[in-house]
Amino acid sequence: MNWLSFRKKKLNAQLFLAIGREVTSGPFAGMVLPNDGTWSDADLITKALGCNECELHDAFETVIALKPDAMINIGASEGYYAIGI
């Protein structure tokens, strides 16, 4: 493990000790992030703080308010948006 990967893991651990695993703000506030899985270390902190891809927040809040019966999530990566919605 290189120094940067080690530092990211340590920062993630410190963040979760401080705020827990619940997303703190944004359209998915209250969603609990899993302890393990395919969540990327590179952006886990921004996801936990609720500022991940903040330019999309208005669009997601609009969709969530519509309460659709179904959605198609294409290119979902690890599923942050699918789980959040």
Render pLDDT for 26-41 as a digit per residue (tens, 0 to 9).
999 999 987 765 666 5
- Classify the phi-psi angles of 37: left when phi > 0, otherwise alpha if psi is within -120 to 50, otherwise beta: left
The pLDDT of residue 49 is above 60 = yes
Render pLDDT for 56-81 as a digit per residue (tens, 0 to 9).
899 988 988 998 898 887 777 777 88
Given this model, what pLDDT does residue 18 score?
87
List the one residue out of 25, 26, 4, 78 whose CA is nearest residue 12: 4
Enter the pTM of the model: 0.71
The domain limits of the chain are: 3-84
